[in-house]
Amino acid sequence: MSDISRLARTLMKLDDKLADCMRCGLCQAVCPVFGVTHKEADVSRGKLALLDNLAHKIIEDPDAVEEKLNRCLLCGSCQANCPSGVSILEIFMEARQALVDYRGLNPIKKLVFRELLTHPQLFSAMMRTAAPFQGLVMRQKGAKTYDMPLLSKLVGSRHIAKLPAKSLHAKYGSLHTEGQIGIKVLFFAGCMADKYYTQLGEACLKVLKHHGVGVVMPSDLTCCGIPALASGDRKGFVMETQKNLDVIGRELVGGGIDYVVTPCGSCTATLKEWWPYFIQEFSPEHQKTIRAVAERVMDINAFLVDVLHVDQMEPGERHAGKVTRVTFHDSCHLKKSVGVSEQPRKLIRMNPDYELVEMAEADRCCGCGGSFTLFHYDLSKEIGQRKRDNIVKTGATAVATGCPACMLQISDMLSQNKDEVVVKHPIEIYAETLPD
């Protein structure tokens, strides 16, 4: 299909969906971007108004359309609170793709989405090569965080942790274990747990092994596709997804895969919702795999609580020393998209060395939004500061969240404020209760 034909089809779909918006403005109260800027153009109602007659606006001023469309975290808060049930996330995804269909994709994004992320071995090799040299450009800011003043044009003033020496897949290769309880899962680590927060990936594998779950972790899985999709790169999204479908399809043919488990709310939502939404972009064989994955995919917190019923277990004995006060941040995709909220809290409470205290606005977006934080870092920081303030007000010395991207954002915000608060995934806290 030509780009013009695809653009026309996309615009017609948008017209149909836009008709449901009543312009009531209830999205204002929950939009984190509007909460900072107070600009009508930054709230869903304003963006939906922009999308009326989008074809003419793209032609007249594509730069202005792109700027307005990209000032959105895609957190789903507006959609979750819309009384008319408007599919706002679908509209924004389609609109961004319409813009890319018309004007093309940024060359750097094209390289990342269509080359780097579609070749997981290349991506891992680049990370592995960069790891030994990161000390040359990193300057320590917190106990485990650093800034990179020499690369400030690329990463801004953000504080981040160092890259691990090895990715999860580099350490384990293609992992296949049988388990003892008759349940086998395909573990979809996602980019962050595989290449950055490898301690999270390790904790997941430890927990699954402890409970006798068989694990399949293919070494050639790649990005779930949400960064490309959110950037309007339909082609990159399809390429990345096809790679994963080929790998997962092979495992499903072999039989015995009961669930696809991920430790990332964004990955879970993508496999469960966005792969099926764009199912017509794929071959009949890939469509079959998409349906099978959507039926089986679960967030690992939900898998442990709802399938393995670990919430019914007695908590272990408290270790010697002071109890750690921990609070919990509901990541947007995990709660608003896939409805997982209480399960991670149950896992945290399973560790007697932690006391869970709730923060105000626990489910308000932390300001990351994937590429949003790269292109709108100052705005992202303002949104993140509100999350940091709510964390600190609890008096907690640890904060947990079920999304690695949120972990990255919250770590940055806490480090920027010199707060000595540790950021963890609920699985890491639960894994501490288990023998090594």
Cα–Cα distance for residue pair 277/286, rounded to 1 Å? 13
- Residue 76 tokens, joined: 């789903």
User: Which amino acid belongs to residue 336?
Assistant: K
Q: What ranges make up the beta strands (E) of 195-277? A: 214-217, 259-262
CB-count exposure of residue 355 (10 Å: 0-12, 13-18, 19+): middle
Q: State the number of CA atoms in the 13 A half-sphere of 49 facing the CB.
A: 11
Q: What is the pLDDT of residue 58?
A: 74
Instruction: Confirm or reject CATH 1.10.1060.10 for domain 3-103, answering yes or no.
Output: yes
Furthest C-alpha separation in the chain: 67
Question: Could you tell me the sign of the dihedral formed by the alpha carbons of 398, 404, 410, 411, in that order?
Answer: positive
CA angle 175, 180, 182 (to 5 degrees): 90
What's the mean pLDDT in 4-28? 73
Residue 62, φ and ψ in degrees, nearest 5 = -65, -30
Domains 3-103 and 313-431 share a fold: no
- Assign 185 to helix, strand or coil: strand
> Which stretches of 257-403 are DSSP H helices?
265-269, 275-277, 284-296, 300-302, 332, 342-349, 372-375, 377-393
Query: pLDDT category, 224, cuts 50, 70, 90?
Result: very high
Q: CA 272 to CA 295: how far, in whole Å?
A: 8
pLDDT of residue 8: 63
Give the pLDDT mean for 284-312: 94
CATH 3.40.50 fits 313-431, yes or no: yes
The residues spanned by each domain of the chain are 3-103, 313-431
Q: pTM of the prediction?
A: 0.92
φ and ψ of 2, to 5 deg: -70, 160
The whole-number average pLDDT for the span 330-353 is 95
Residues 95-144 pLDDT 10s: 888 888 888 888 888 888 898 888 877 777 777 777 777 877 788 888 78
Sequence-ordered list of residues with C-beta below 8 angstroms from that of 125, at least 6 positions apart, any chain? none
The 10s digit of each residue's pLDDT in 18-64 is 777 888 888 888 999 999 998 888 887 777 776 776 666 777 787 88
Mean pLDDT is lowest, of 69-78, 297-306, 345-354, for 69-78
Query: Which tokens belong to 386?
Result: 């509100």
Report whether pLDDT(151) > 60. yes
Looking at 39-53, 348-362, 390-404, 418-432, which range is the least confident one?
39-53
- The lowest-confidence range among 24-33, 82-91, 310-319 is 310-319
Angle (CA) 55-278-46 rounded to 5° is 40
